Structure 1
Amino acid sequence: MTSREQPSRKRPRSEDASLKNSLSDSERETHEDLIFIRPMRPLSVEPDRDDKFWYKDGNVVLVAGNVAFRVYRGLLASQSTVLDDLCSADPAWHVDGCPVVHMSDRAEEVRSLLSVLINGKTYITKREVSFEDLAIWIRLAHKYRIADLLENSLRRPSLQSPHHSITAVNLARLTETSSILPLALYDCCQLPVETLLNGHTYPGGRVEKLSADDVQRCIQALSVLGVQRTLAIVKSMDLSACGYSCRFECADHVSAIKTELLEDLKSPGCRHPLCSWARFMGQYNRDMTSNVKNSAHPMCPRCIKTVIQSHGQVLLECWKNLPELLGIEVEGWATAQDA
């Protein structure tokens, strides 16, 4: 990670009150946890030393939950003015001669943050990163104002499981990254309604929930998504406009496939108009003898390509209108889809 261009100036304790009063409501809420509320006496039980981040020559001890991390104050200060301020406060107690700083974060979050701070940016770019780690980096980089880590983490692609979509929405809201919201909210619409309403429970008991407004957005979008899927099927499964005279019976077969798809819409959860049909239609390729479905409705490759292209145009229109469907504004969204 890059160091700050100028060394930080230590803020006298007497300035805490004036700084606190100058903050916005959201900033004040963040700083309550970080700077202005500190434990007044040592913990009754000495925390466990972390197996990974306990350096014998470290000069500050971070305590998160019941885990202690002995690291280097200069490293933390070079990454974050907020962490610098936190470490500059008069400590309530010491461990092995090192000042102790209480963190309001969970131990696994602090451990993940230290992993990237100590190993630098290459830790992000040269390894597979789990969504869980990425979410931690975004949250804590925002909280502790580590600008380069936040920027790199928001740009870092990460495969998501369906339940990660709730976290993705909340991270987009936290960091005001509106470009993430359409797809993240759309993915939330694919979750079971119970999860949408009550949130997802992670191992350890932490529950990630959408705000009431975002839950309402998703609930209102569900019926529209169902209509869009119906229209996508009807518009895409029409070979009459292509002007190609097929010597096979593809028109009859595509009509039969359309009927089956419309029947599938009666099943709960069928509301996904934005998925590609390339693999789906490939099952009906009469030239691929390994396909299990081509014996029932075999189609020639040219007609399959026509259907896939027609469906692609429908998807593009759905994608352009996604923010409006979800009741959000994303500047430049529609233009970006044409690029």
Structure 2
Amino acid sequence: MSFQRPIKNLDGLHDPSFLLPTMASPPAKRPRTENVLITCSDIWYRDGSVVLQAGDTQFRVHWTVLEQNSPFFRAMQGLPQPPDQPTVEGCPVVELPDDAEDVRYLLKALYSPTFLMQKTLPFPAVAALIRLGRKYDFREILDATVERVTFENPTTLEEFPSGKYNPTRIDYHPGLVFDMITLIRENNILSALPCAYYRAILFHSVNIIDGIPREDGTLAALASIDQRRCGLAREKLIKTQLKTGYTIGWLRDQGRADCTNTSSCDAKRTEILYHYLDILNLWALGRIAQATMGKSLCEACRKHAIESNESGRKKLWEELPSFFELPPWNELKNDL
């Protein structure tokens, strides 16, 4: 069974009739040469009832397994089949316009219950399960995989680690943050976007523009829309974090009434303020380190700094989506 209708966008498509050949014209033949080899994958069940083919790789599986997990394939199985449909060992061949490795990850999740139970999954597996889970309506697989992405990119400050980002549900690779943004945006996992964008702007501006090399020599690069959002947000956040009421706005609070050592505390705040102005680093959601304040701040000013820093972090988190031209947190709904 081959695809003969041009498919512009399969995202969210739940009508399996596009798998049928166009009957008004002779069935188109898939171009082949004698040098093209069809490879049987490691997913090949001798009692399988259907062969899925992605590229030049075939997978022999069971209609019942596909039907039980996907309304898309359930509806497709009941459609009339053309008389000249190709078969392998008596099984109909269904050609999928997807990457063979993506299909392999999908079938592995279907047939190996422990696969989705692993603490971490490689990013290519996560991306494949989300893309094909949406496309072919494998809802349980999709929900379980999206949960990994939203866990890594939370919607509350309490769940957001203020230190260095170390993924716990997805295997790390250089460029993971950028790759995650592309996956999130393209699949409408909107609730995860603000956190993912914030992690991206912690990189240098040159990385936002030029990308980050992966270990295999390819480049993890942001699309132009993501570059624009990140570039503008980084500039706005650096300015905002120093405003009164925000993360390090307490540095402007000179001459506090409850201060017990005005000259020393004012001098220390000025010193730290100039340090931030000189380096222009992003510290919008960072917690102030005790070492940063040193011993020059009196107890009252030290307490004020810690409390102001924490309230400023909360204020910035609440406003975080707006810096990336996104709706408020309560309006960022995942459209899966």
| TM-score, normalisation: structure 1 | 0.68
Residue of 33, 39, 43 corresponding to 1:48: 39
1:227 aligned onto 2:251: no
* Bigger mean CA deviation after superposition, 206-215 or 61-70: 206-215
Gaps of 5+ in 1: 1-12, 286-293, 335-339
| Native 8 Å contact 1:179 1:330 kept in 2 | no
Q: Distance in 1 between matches of 2:291 and 2:17?
A: 56
Distance 1:283-1:114 versus aligned 2 partners, 3 A rule: farther
Q: Distance in 2 between matches of 1:184 and 1:97?
A: 48
| Native 8 Å contact 2:16 2:72 kept in 1 | no
**Which string of whole-angstrom CA distances, capped at 9 and with x for unpartnered residues, describes residues 60-99 of structure 1?**
2222233222222211121112234556654742233322
Q: Distance in 1 between matches of 2:248 and 2:317?
A: 18
Residue of 244, 263, 266 corresponding to 2:278: 263
Q: Which has the higher contact order (CA 8 A, sep 6+)?
A: 2
| Native 8 Å contact 1:189 1:219 kept in 2 | yes
Residue of 113, 133, 136 corresponding to 2:125: 133
* Bigger mean CA deviation after superposition, 134-143 or 194-203: 194-203
1:63 aligned onto 2:53: yes
Q: Secondary structure at the match of 1:155?
A: helix
Q: Distance in 1 between matches of 2:57 and 2:19?
A: 20
Distance 1:73-1:272 versus aligned 2 partners, 3 A rule: farther
**Which string of whole-angstrom CA distances, capped at 9 and with x for unpartnered residues, describes residues 186-207 of structure 1?**
3333445455456667677877
1:163 aligned onto 2:175: yes
Equivalence map 1:79-98=2 (5 Å): 79-85=69-75, 89-90=81-82, 92-98=85-91
| Native 8 Å contact 1:178 1:330 kept in 2 | no
Name the counterpart of 1:288: none
Distance 1:260-1:70 versus aligned 2 partners, 3 A rule: same
Name the counterpart of 1:149: 141
Q: Distance in 1 between matches of 2:299 and 2:116?
A: 42
Offset of residue 219 of structure 1: 2.9
Name the counterpart of 1:75: 65
Q: Distance in 2 between matches of 1:298 and 1:33?
A: 73
Q: Distance in 2 between matches of 1:199 and 1:299?
A: 41
Q: Secondary structure at the match of 1:321?
A: helix
1:327 aligned onto 2:325: yes
Offset of residue 317 of structure 1: 1.5
Distance 1:95-1:260 versus aligned 2 partners, 3 A rule: same
**Which string of whole-angstrom CA distances, capped at 9 and with x for unpartnered residues, describes residues 118-168 of structure 1?**
134x64345322333222211111111122222222222242667334443
Q: Distance in 1 between matches of 2:217 and 2:87?
A: 31
**Which string of whole-angstrom CA distances, capped at 9 and with x for unpartnered residues, describes residues 41-74 of structure 1?**
47542322223x1222222222223322222221
| Native 8 Å contact 1:250 1:300 kept in 2 | yes
Q: Distance in 1 between matches of 2:87 and 2:309?
A: 65
Equivalence map 1:190-209=2 (5 Å): 190-193=202-205, 195-197=207-209
| TM-score, normalisation: structure 2 | 0.69
| Native 8 Å contact 1:42 1:93 kept in 2 | no
Q: Provide the aligned length of Structure 1 versus Structure 2.
A: 297
Residue of 35, 38, 44 corresponding to 2:19: 35
Counterpart residue type for residue 312 of structure 1: E
Q: Distance in 2 between matches of 1:306 and 1:189?
A: 28
* Bigger mean CA deviation after superposition, 323-332 or 235-244: 235-244
Offset of residue 309 of structure 1: 2.7
Distance 1:202-1:172 versus aligned 2 partners, 3 A rule: same
Counterpart residue type for residue 133 of structure 1: A
| Native 8 Å contact 1:82 1:145 kept in 2 | yes
Distance 1:67-1:149 versus aligned 2 partners, 3 A rule: same
| Native 8 Å contact 1:41 1:92 kept in 2 | no
Counterpart residue type for residue 40 of structure 1: K
